[in-house]
Each structure stands twice: as structure tokens, then as C-alpha cells.
Amino acid sequence: MKLLSDRINSLPVSQTLEMAAKTRELKAQGKDIIGLSLGEPDFNTPDFIKEAAIQAINDNYNSYTPVDGYQELKEAICRKFKRDNQLNYSPNQIVVSTGAKQSIANVAMVLLNPGDEVLLPAPYWVSYSAIATLAEATYKEIPSSIETDFKITPEQLEAAITPKTKLIFFNSPNNPSGAKYSKEEYEALAKVLEKHPDIFILSDEIYEHINYEGENYSFARIASLYDRTITVNGVAKAFAMTGWRIGYIGAPEWIAKACTKMQGQITSGANCIAQRATIAALDAPISKIQYMVDEFKSRRDIVINLLNEIDGFKTNTPNGAFYLFPDVSSFFGKTIKENKINNASDFALFLLKEAHVATVTGDAFGAPNCIRISYAASEAQLREALARIKKVLS
């Protein structure tokens, strides 16, 4: 009998988390590594959220919470959906989980059967494909490139759909490209999905507030799709709360119920203190976190300018999230400082080895010509990282 299951053996390691672990390991060995691999704000969680957590500890919030989250939190999430997204959800349509990653895994587990197909507009976040695999579905990438700002077209979507298509994972603003779809672009894709009533839409909006231009749209705002859209969000990115692990969905009630059943057998409710803190985060005016968004935007511009000073990087200007996704294919086939660069993984490893800068290969995101640079690091670190990269490539 095999020691490990086929399930775990079929699962790749998360390359974002692996690169972060590698960075920690090298730093522990005394190496001066600049980590631009992890999508994690370098800010502290705002004080008003920390105070709510301390208050919750003092108020003895220490018991199991309802599996789908505290009622007060679910009500706060409904208020947030209404205020920020013009979406009407009631608390019985909400499920709170241990991070948006668990929210997504719940949805995949309850909707997918073996043989179902999941569509992944590429580039896509590393765990989408792994979660689809875990749910025994197959996935199909819909490619895009820097020339189209990493967005797919309605024609591509139409061409990718088959009778087996059950779910599409959609993410705007996008990790890893930073691409943000406009209302019109959503509506054009919706026209295609309207023709295929059996397809569900998982709309991952975790980066909604890291948005530099125009409004952020949502699939669930399109009335014809509301009943088959699962809106995913969380507090990690907007409120600098990555380690607090709170994600949530707004979904048709029957899907929310199924996710609660799934979660009830795997982990029960999310952390009680983090849930109380999340109420404070979501009830606060968005202006309270604007300083972080402004800072991210300024860093984006700095990094784009510095990258454009280096021959070989093809860049665009993403409208959201805190990633740049330059095309580095012009380096493929070259040997630099005795390192043969055949692909984006070689290039990312080269940057780690020679410049001591950690990035993530585009291969992990279904975009083999690119690397992901997270600019959720301090300006000083970003400037130093880019100076190092420039030096090793000159």
C-alpha cells in the first residue's frame, strides 16, 4: 500500500509560500535577501482593529463560534457588501472562513465533481489550479499576455467553454498581474456566461480596495448572474491582516449551506478573536485604509520606472493589487554570470542567487514568460532590490 495518498501526491506545493519559506531560510542563514515574493502588505494592522481584538480577548470571546461565523460579523459583511459593492446579501448567504483560501476551497469542494471542468483566465493565483485538482476536477487555462494587460476577451471565454464547464475562477484586481476589469469588460464576459446557465462564477475580490483607478465591479451586480455567483473576499490584503486569517463568501443560500457543512467537518468556525476584529475592520470607513493604497500606488510607479531602466523587462501599468508581472522572455536562451536562463523559473532563481531578490516565477501562475514582483515592501527595499537586479543584469 502506498504511504501517501494519490490526492496529496497530485498536488503541487504552493510556489508563493515555498518562495517565502526559502526567503526565510536564507535570511536565517544570514543572507541579505529582499523578499518580493509574498503578497503581503508590510504595514501593521491598524490600531483600531488591534484594539477590537484586545477588547474581544478581555470580553472572553474564547469559545467555538458558529461554523459559518458570528451573526454580528455576518451582518457587518452584509453591510460591507451593500456599501462597497452594491450587493444585497442576507446573513444566511454568508460563510466566514479561515482566510479566503479556505473560502475558495469550500466552494470548489461543494460544487465540483470528478470530470467537471474549471476555467482559469491566466495568469491566475497559484492555488486555483491546485484547489481544482484537489476537488478532482480538471482545469483549462485561458491565456492572456502583457499586450492585452493580461485580460481575456469574451471570444476567448466562449471558445473555452465545453459541456463539462462547471465553474470559472475570476479574480479582479488580479493576482499576479494587477489587471482590473472595467464594468464594460465584466458585462461583455457576462453576455457569454448568460448563454451558459450551468456555469458558476467564483468572483475573487480580495484585492478590491487595492484599486488605483475607477470603481471596482462585481459579477454578482449583474442580475442575471447573481444566483450563480459566489463573491469571495477577506480582510488580509486591504487591512494588513494576512496572519489573522479571515475570509468570507456571499453566495446563494444553498451554496452557503453546503460550504458550512463542509467547513463543519474540516475546521469548524474561524478564530473567534480575529472574527471580532474583522467586525471593526469592515465597519470602519474605507478612508481609514487609504494611506496604504496611496503608498502602494506610489511604489508601483517607482518600481515600473526602475524596471523600465533595465533592458529586457517588458512592463505594463496595472490598475490594482500590489504586483507587477513583467515579461522577461527576452532573457530566455541567454547565459548571465554563468547561469543559463531557459525559462522564467531559471530567471527567478538567478535573481535569488545573484541579486538576493526573491520573486515568483510566472510558471506558477500559468504565464511562463513572466515573473511576479510584489511591491508590498518598503520603498527603500524596493529601490535596493531594483538596484541589485540592474547590477546583476548589466
| DSSP characters over 349-373 | HHIIIII-EE-EEGGGGT-TTBEEE
User: Which CB atom, from 222 or from 349, has the smaller least distance to ligand GLU?
Assistant: 349
Instruction: Determine phi and psi for 87, rounding to 5 degrees.
Output: -110, 135
Distance separating alpha carbons of residues 113 and 132, to the nearest angstrom: 10
User: Which CB atom, from 165 or from 231, has the smaller least distance to ligand GLU?
Assistant: 231
Distance separating alpha carbons of residues 149 and 172, to the nearest angstrom: 12
Among 65, 175, 275, 278, binds ligand GLU (CB under 6 A): 175
Q: 132: closest CA among 179, 172, 98, 164?
A: 164
The count of residues interacting with ligand GLU (CB under 6 A) is 10
Q: How far is the CB of 372 from ligand GLU (least distance, A)?
A: 8
User: Which CB atom, from 272 or from 376, has the smaller least distance to ligand GLU?
Assistant: 376
Is there binding between residue 382 and ligand GLU (CB under 6 A)?
no
Q: Which of 121-129, 187-195, 282-290, 338-346 is the region at the interface with ligand GLU (rule: CB under 6 A)?
A: 121-129
Q: Which of 13-21, 46-54, 130-138, 251-259 is the region at the interface with ligand GLU (rule: CB under 6 A)?
A: 13-21
User: Which CB atom, from 19 or from 110, has the smaller least distance to ligand GLU?
Assistant: 19
Among 34, 36, 38, 281, binds ligand GLU (CB under 6 A): 38
Is there binding between residue 179 and ligand GLU (CB under 6 A)?
no
Q: 116: closest CA among 191, 168, 194, 190?
A: 168
User: Which CB atom, from 127 or from 275, has the smaller least distance to ligand GLU?
Assistant: 127
Is there binding between residue 17 and ligand GLU (CB under 6 A)?
yes
| DSSP characters over 224-290 | GGGGGEEEEEESTTTTT-GGG--EEEE--HHHHHHHHHHHHHHT-SPPHHHHHHHHHHHHS-GGGGH
User: Which CB atom, from 121 or from 341, has the smaller least distance to ligand GLU?
Assistant: 121
Binders in 309-368 for ligand GLU, by CB under 6 A: none
Please give the single-letter amino acid code of residue 204.
D
Distance separating alpha carbons of residues 84 and 137, to the nearest angstrom: 33
User: Locate cell 554570470: which residue?
Assistant: 337
Distance separating alpha carbons of residues 255 and 95, to the nearest angstrom: 10
Burial 195-221 (b: 16+ CB within 10 A, else e): eeeebbbbbbbbbbbbbbeeebbbbbb
Q: 256: closest CA among 52, 39, 97?
A: 97
User: Which CB atom, from 39 or from 250, has the smaller least distance to ligand GLU?
Assistant: 39
C-alpha cell at 116: 467537471
Binding mask 126-155 for ligand GLU (x = CB under 6 A): xx----------------------------
Q: 110: closest CA among 121, 97, 126, 123?
A: 97
User: Which CB atom, from 165 or from 175, has the smaller least distance to ligand GLU?
Assistant: 175
Is there binding between residue 16 and ligand GLU (CB under 6 A)?
yes
User: Which CB atom, from 190 or from 364, has the smaller least distance to ligand GLU?
Assistant: 364
User: Locate cell 515555498: which residue?
Assistant: 18
Is there binding between residue 14 and ligand GLU (CB under 6 A)?
yes
Q: How far is the CB of 247 from ligand GLU (least distance, A)?
A: 11
Among 39, 46, 326, 366, binds ligand GLU (CB under 6 A): 39
Number of H helices, E strands in the chain: 13, 14
Q: How far is the CB of 125 from ligand GLU (least distance, A)?
A: 6
> Cα 66–68–72 angle (5° rounding)?
70
Other C-beta atoms lying within 10 Å of the C-beta of residue 295: 18
Is there binding between residue 178 and ligand GLU (CB under 6 A)?
no
Q: Which of 3-11, 12-20, 75-83, 157-165 is the region at the interface with ligand GLU (rule: CB under 6 A)?
A: 12-20
Using CB positions, name the residue nearest to ligand GLU. Answer: 39
Is there binding between residue 97 and ligand GLU (CB under 6 A)?
no
User: Which CB atom, from 120 or from 393, has the smaller least distance to ligand GLU?
Assistant: 120
By the criterion CB under 6 A, which residues form the site for ligand GLU?
14, 16-17, 38-39, 101, 125-127, 175
